[in-house]
């Protein structure tokens, strides 16, 4: 089956980017600090910047979602990128989230790549993609503007 079929075992990825008029250090801090992440992303517990570190994002459960994302840091390069495994029990899902930062004309571009959605998980990917975009375009944007 081809990429557009949504029925096979192909990896269906999502990628989004947004530029902010602040330094890479400021954006990076908002990716690696529990308290700052909780203000723009999701309530975060247990984050520490070290490979293998486990942490959770916890939100209100719903009919479609159990409320907890279980995460484990896979890799990072200070101020450049951060990747972590992101898993949920409901729906059963294990993906990889990667945040990348780049300086562009006095601004910092934050790029999100969310990969590992297989076949029929395209609907979950679409739902999460909308949430990520709202967090990046509204919540993080507003948080950085208010500094």
Rg for the chain (alpha carbons), in Å?
15
**What are the pLDDT digits (tens) for 92-106?**
888 899 999 999 999
DSSP, residue by residue, the chain: --GGG--SS-EEEEEEEEEESS-HHHHHHHHH-HHHHHHHS--EES--SSTT-EEEEE----SS--SEEEEEEEEEETTTEEEEEEEETTTTEEEEEEEEEEEETTEEEEEEEEEEEEGGGHHHHHHHHHHHHHIIIIIIHHHHHT-
**What are the pLDDT digits (tens) for 15-35?**
789 999 999 999 999 999 999
Q: How many separate domains does the chain show? A: 1
Q: Of all residues in the chain, what percent carry a pLDDT higher than 90?
A: 55
Dig out the tokens for 40 from the structure: 């723009």
For residue 122, pLDDT beyond 90: no
Domain span including residue 121 = 3-145
Q: Between the CA atoms of 103, 53, 89 and 129, what dihedral angle is there, to the nearest 10 degrees?
A: 0
Q: What is the CATH number of the domain that holds 57?
A: 3.30.530.20
Alpha-carbon distance 23 to 103, whole Å? 8
């Amino acid at each position: 089956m081809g990429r557009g079929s949504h029925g096979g075992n192909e990896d269906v990825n999502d990628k989004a980017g947004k530029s902010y008029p602040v330094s890479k250090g400021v954006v990076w801090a908002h990716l690696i600090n529990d308290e700052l992440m909780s203000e723009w992303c999701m309530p975060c517990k247990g984050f520490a910047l070290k490979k293998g570190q486990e942490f959770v994002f916890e939100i209100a459960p719903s009919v479609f979602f159990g409320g907890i994302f279980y995460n484990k840091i896979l890799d990072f390069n200070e101020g450049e990128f951060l990747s972590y495994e992101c898993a949920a029990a409901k729906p059963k899902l294990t993906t990889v989230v990667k945040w990348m930062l780049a300086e562009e004309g006095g601004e910092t571009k934050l790029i999100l790549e969310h990969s590992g959605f297989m076949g029929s998980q395209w609907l979950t990917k679409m739902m999460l993609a909308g949430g990520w975009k709202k967090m990046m375009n509204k919540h993080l944007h507003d948080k950085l503007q208010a500094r």
